[in-house]
Structure 1
Amino acid sequence: MPAPLTPEDVRLAVRAVVVHTAEEWPTGPLCRNDGASYPCRLHRWGRRVLEAHGLNERQIEALIRHGNPFVHVPFPFTATGPSPARTAGARPATTGYPAPAGRTGGLPARQQAARAVPPGVRPTAAGRPVTAPVTAPRWPRAS
């Protein structure tokens, strides 16, 4: 019976398939990292883990083309977004901290704070401040 995958297994598998990619040589494709014939042992292991995690061949190839060995693959992986088990409303209650008043789950909605306009600056229609024209220098000039 295979052991269940952990988030660390998925993270290491992404790193294995990205780092151990093919590099063309006159003798044929070799692993870019260790020079073994491609696909090397770690690349094959990484592909098996990612396929067991639910990624298809096209998605694995996109990870390799991306080239970042530290790219995040959600756990548990679903093709349409985060799994329903990990939504904000389904979070388990944490012990030790009382729930904030007026919140049922997730983060509160944030609103943009009003900006204070400093004196001498007039806002334009686009919202970018324009400074007033300066008639005298703000500091004494060197002679």
Structure 2
Amino acid sequence: MRVGEQSTDPIDLVLGEVPVPAPLTPEDVRLAVRAVVVHTAEEWPTGPLCRNDGASYPCRLHRWGRRVLETHGLNERQIEALIQHGNPFVHVPFPFTATGPSSARPTGARPATTAGYPAPAPGRGGLPARHQAARVTPAAVRQASAGRPVTPPVTAPRWPRAS
């Protein structure tokens, strides 16, 4: 069965097509990439089946993912390249333009602070400054400072060696 054809799978006849959300979000695009990569075709003697759920190819999620990615601006060749790449977590820029980064959000335009993260350092290509990691006090030192006796770590086994 071709990608544009109507499925004859009984579950598809009952449930119908998964609707494409009207305003696409970055999460919709990420899920669509996962859908087309994970629900790809696998050849069987009876014909191509979905690699993930065994339904006739293309399954409902694969068709939904293709429609979302086409709505997002990817063409057939780019969608096939995503499938051939095989990584369901590959990043597709949002909003997508075929010639490069979108003009809607300039490359260097980032918020000064993100919740819980330091502001990017100006001279390091937008990367935050690196700080020395906090030192963790070993449990023996913490217990000793609390006034409790501390037993030294065992360096040799307390049992005789088997000979």
Q: Is TM > 0.5 for Structure 1 vs Structure 2?
A: yes
Q: Structure 1's 90 and 110: CA in aligned 2 closer, same or farther, altered over 3 A?
A: closer
Which of 15, 20, 23 pairs up with 1:4?
A: 23
Q: Would you identify which runs of 4 or more consecutive aligned residues in structure 1 move more than 3 Å?
A: 88-94, 106-111
Q: Secondary structure at the match of 1:69?
A: coil
Please report the RMSD computed on the Cα atoms of aligned residues, expressed in angstroms: 2.3
User: Matched residue of 1:52: which SS?
Assistant: helix
Summarize the alignment of residues 118-137 of structure 1 with structure 2, pairs less than 5 Å apart. Answer: none
Please, which of 33, 43, 63 is the counterpart of residue 62 of structure 2?
43
User: In the alignment, does 2:93 pair up with 1:74?
Assistant: yes
- What are the residue-to-residue correspondences of 1:21-100 with 2, within 5 Å? 21-88=40-107
Q: Distance in 2 between matches of 1:5 and 1:89?
A: 23
Q: How far apart are the structure 1 equivalents of 2:45 and 2:39?
A: 18
Shift of 1:80: 1.1
Of all paired residues, the percent bearing the same amino acid is: 90
What number of residue pairs does the alignment pair up? 100
Question: Which secondary structure state, in structure 2, belongs to the residue aligned with residue 86 of structure 1?
Answer: coil
Matched, 1:108 2:122: yes
Q: 1: CA distance between counterparts of 2:107 and 2:77?
A: 30
Letter in 1 for 2:29: V
Tell me the distance in 2 between the aligned counterparts of 1:56 and 1:31.
22
How far is the alpha carbon of 1:108 from its aligned partner? 3.2
| Candidates 39, 42, 47, aligned match of 1:20 | 39
**Greater Cα shift, 43-52 or 78-87:** 78-87
